[in-house]
Chain A
């Protein structure tokens, strides 16, 4: 399956106290997943939002193959989480200072997916793919000046188009939302075979796309 899925969580606007209450995290984290928590790796509130970010990314990835799919985070199960070395040479665009890196796998129904996440002081960014090498996956995070939805939408499109224009310099690229509600990339009005995904939260926007060329 060719798809793309990503998510970003702005850590400055989460409610840490509520996050750590069982009534909150038990809505989408299973008992099995709670067993994956290792205290020295990260604070518990970061663990909770990492799992949310992974599940949301997986949902976006899967939704492109099933337009009727409904977000059921407790059915998207994170199988393992491990510390990753810095994503050197990665197709990542964004601040990596004071960041840590994690990777792992996800099971949904019969699908196994893979994730990798950057945990920064101010955000958690996640990308999901069907291949654990992420060889063809591009992704990025950008801080913007405004947090309203119009500014977020404009900024994330400009951000990803800057990247795509550098990869496809002689194209007339544009992005529009399809009927299913996810973004689609066009060249001269013709749909390109490059699945893309957007996410935004407060003043952070992020993209991912799969480019097999």
Chain B
């Protein structure tokens, strides 16, 4: 799965937690989850758990703490997906 495909799936993960649907359609790797997508910080754990289910990976909070913008989310997910079993 390349970064473009991860981004496409990530939009589905983020959609329930943002009021800014227009911004979600136009997200890029610099988009900040809280400042730009207006996601409440109380939903950050939900997003991690939903991403784990979406990509069949495990994300610990040491990795999750980097997930404050879309590019960082893709970095973490990509690393977990491509991690050798």
A positions within 8 Å CB-CB of B: 9, 14-15, 18, 23-24, 27-28, 52, 56, 70-74, 148-149, 181, 200-201
**Which residues of chain B from 23 to 73 have a CB within 8 Å of any chain A CB?**
35, 38, 40-42, 44-46, 48-49, 52, 60-62, 64-66, 68
B49 touches A73 (CB 8 A): no
A70 touches B19 (CB 8 A): no
A70 touches B45 (CB 8 A): no
Chain B residues within 8 Å of A28, by CB: 45, 61
Chain B residues within 8 Å of A74, by CB: 61-62
What is the number of residues of chain B that contact chain A, defined by CB distance less than 8 Å?
Answer: 20
B65 touches A71 (CB 8 A): yes
Residue of B nearest to A153 (CB): B38
Q: How far is the CB of A183 from chain B (nearest CB, A)?
A: 13
19 more contacts with CB within 8 A, not counting A24-B46, A27-B61, A72-B65, are: A23-B49, A24-B49, A27-B45, A27-B48, A27-B60, A56-B41, A56-B42, A70-B65, A70-B68, A71-B68, A72-B61, A72-B62, A73-B61, A74-B61, A148-B19, A149-B19, A149-B20, A200-B40, A201-B40
B positions within 8 Å CB-CB of A: 19-20, 35, 38, 40-42, 44-46, 48-49, 52, 60-62, 64-66, 68
Chain B residues within 8 Å of A27, by CB: 45, 48-49, 60-61, 64
Given contacts A56-B41, A148-B19, A149-B19, contact A15 B61 (CB under 8 A): no
